[in-house]
Amino acid sequence: MPEIMSPRPSEDAGVDPVTARVRDARAGLAALIDEAEAARRHRAEGTPEDGSAVCAWNHFENIPTFYNWNNRPR
Amino acid sequence: MAEGWSGMRGITAVPTYVVMQPTTLCNLDCAYCYLPFRSDDRRMPVEVAEAVAASVDAYARTGRFSVVWHGGEPLAAGREHLAALFAPFGAGVEHHVQTNATLIDDAWCEFFIEHQVRVSVSVDGPEPRNGDRVTRGGRPAYDRIVRGIDALRRHDIPFSALCVVGDPRPGLAAELYAYFLDLGCEVLGINVEELEGVNLRANRHTAADVTAFWSELVAAWRMDPRIHLREVEWSLRYAGAVLDGTADDVLPRQLDPIPTVAQDGSVVLLSPELAGFHDRRYGDFTSGNVLTTPLSEILAGAAATPWIAEFLRGVESCRETCPYFGFCGGAHAANRYFEHGRFDVTETDHCRNSKIRLLEGVLDHARDHEPTAV
């Protein structure tokens, strides 16, 4: 699928094209998301006090060592 | 939804971290580095750290707060000076270093343990992929990088890694992921090389190649997801929120100002890559100096800096025009400036390489790997 370089109406009225594309991939994404969640539990990312390089998932956007996603430095 | 995203409106006055430059010096001379002055050893006076600590210790009392020691190469400042710069900060402040690893030895590992420093190393994959990472004499730095990482492993110090990819394309991602699994990093971030700062190399790539690179990375990660892979984690977090109907909650409500405090105390907000540059229209991009104005006061007046006001208009343009805004949050300031010469433009090559094609690659993988019905 080519990149969606400008907003345009999707077949699903009122839904932007990126959202529609995500929804179209729901079945594959659901399995992937489940696996990612299991991997996070296996990595024990819920314990930010353990000194690990990995911070808690719920702190993900606050991981400061250049792992922030939005408006991050590189 | 493109016009309806509610996150990233304005800049918060309370950052979650501050980037500090203990020295401008770097002992390496990587071909893609954006930093000016990296051949000079201009060290941060302790007074600058004291001034920053006076503001940020209050942030650390109410939430998690970190200082990221960047550079130049932060370890080039030396242990004694770095310890003196750490000293003004309260115990609640986390310290992080982003290092090229070449100076790490047993003594540095003991320093990291003593000061509870979180370590992230910069390495671009197997030795042949590190051709851009060279010493000041132009010799390959890879052996030194690996020696430093070996020291971390010897001391059981967990570490993250950042990998710069200059030519994202199919066939490379699986090789890189296998390398970082073997390296033993806990977290990995992939930075597609950017045109910014003093790095003027073009970063325009074929869309299909970049999308296939990301798709292949997802496939490699999925086979052994031991590493917290920044790009995959964020993409799946967004995709999951879209499917749950909570996508508008993903972006932070406001932009983090990410204050970068240069060695002389000057403060550049939002994009550290702008530090040290001057433009006829925008001046030197600084919003103040902590030696004369408290950091909290500088942050409170952030939007008054002319280029930042223009940047905020650019974020609103992204919100209005880009269907990826809910995933991305708007093009980064440095990419807008160094690619287009101003801040109120929207899409950049960095957007295309590292946001749009990333999400498309993840979605391609998901589309092509639907569970088989039984």
Shared-domain flag, residues A35 and A12: yes
pLDDT in tens, B287-306: 999 999 999 999 999 999 99
pLDDT of residue B356: 96
Answer yes or no: is pLDDT of B8 > 50: yes
Q: A53 and A67: one domain?
A: yes
Which residues of chain A from 12 to 71 reach within 8 Å of chain B, CB to CB? 15-19, 21-33, 35-36, 39-40, 42-43, 45, 48, 51-54, 59-71
pLDDT band, residue A59 (cuts 50/70/90) = very low
Written as one string, the DSSP assignment of B301-348 is TGGGSHHHHHHHHHHHHHHHH-TTHHHH-S--HHHHHHHHSSSS----
Alpha helix (H) residue ranges in B170-264: 173-183, 207-223, 230-244
What is the structure's pLDDT at B18? 92
Distance from CA of A51 to the nearest CA of B (A): 8
Residues A2 and A35 in one domain: yes
Residues A53 and A34 in one domain: no
Q: Range of A50's domain?
A: 46-74
With 80 as the cut, is the pLDDT of residue B81 above it? yes
Residues A11, A34: one domain? yes
For residue B234, give the 3-state DSSP assignment.
Answer: helix
Quote the pLDDT of residue A73.
42
Residue that the structure tokens 């391609």 belong to: B364
Tell me: ipTM over 0.95.
Answer: no
Domain boundaries, chain B: 1-374
Q: Which residue of A has its CA nearest to B2?
A: A16
Residue A53, pLDDT score: 47
B158–A52 C-beta distance less than 8 A: yes
Please list, residue by residue across B228-251, b when 16 or more beta carbons sit within 10 angstroms of its beta carbon and e when fewer do.
bbbbbbbbbbbbbbbbeeebeebb
Residues A50 and A31 in one domain: no
pLDDT band for position A33 (cuts 50, 70, 90): very high
Kindly state whether residues A1 and A26 are assigned to the same domain.
yes
Judge: A43–B98 Cβ closer than 8 Å, yes or no. no
Please indicate, yes or no, whether residues A53 and A31 belong to a single structural domain of this protein: no
pLDDT attached to residue B184: 95
The pLDDT-based confidence of A55 (bands split at 50, 70, 90) is very low
A73 neighbourhood in chain B, CB within 8 Å: 19, 70, 258, 260, 271-273
Global pTM reads 0.92
Q: What is the pLDDT of residues B105-134, one digit of tens each?
A: 999 999 999 999 999 999 999 999 999 999
Lowest mean per-residue pLDDT among A1-5, B176-180, B205-209, B230-234: A1-5
* A33 shares its domain with A67: no
> Would the CB atoms of A73 and B19 count as touching at under 8 Å?
yes
Residue A57 has pLDDT above 50, yes or no: no
The predicted structure's pLDDT at residue A14: 75
Confidence class of residue B198 from pLDDT cuts 50, 70 and 90?
confident
Least confident of A37-51, B52-66, B177-191, B210-224: A37-51
Q: Give the CATH class of B1-374.
A: alpha beta
B8/B23 Cα distance (integer angstroms): 32
Among A50-54, A67-71, B76-80, B327-331, the range of highest mean pLDDT: B76-80
> Residues of B with CB below 8 A from A13's CB?
none
Sheet-wide strand order for B65-69: B228-229, B187-192, B159-165, B117-122, B93-99, B65-69, B17-20, B260-261, B266-268, B286-289
Across the interface, of B162, B230, B370, the residue whose CB is closest to A28 is B370
Q: Is 60 exceeded by the pLDDT of residue A10?
A: no
pLDDT of residue A45: 64
Q: Cα angle at B364 between B363 and B367, to 5 degrees?
A: 85
Chain B closest CA to A70's CA: distance in Å?
6
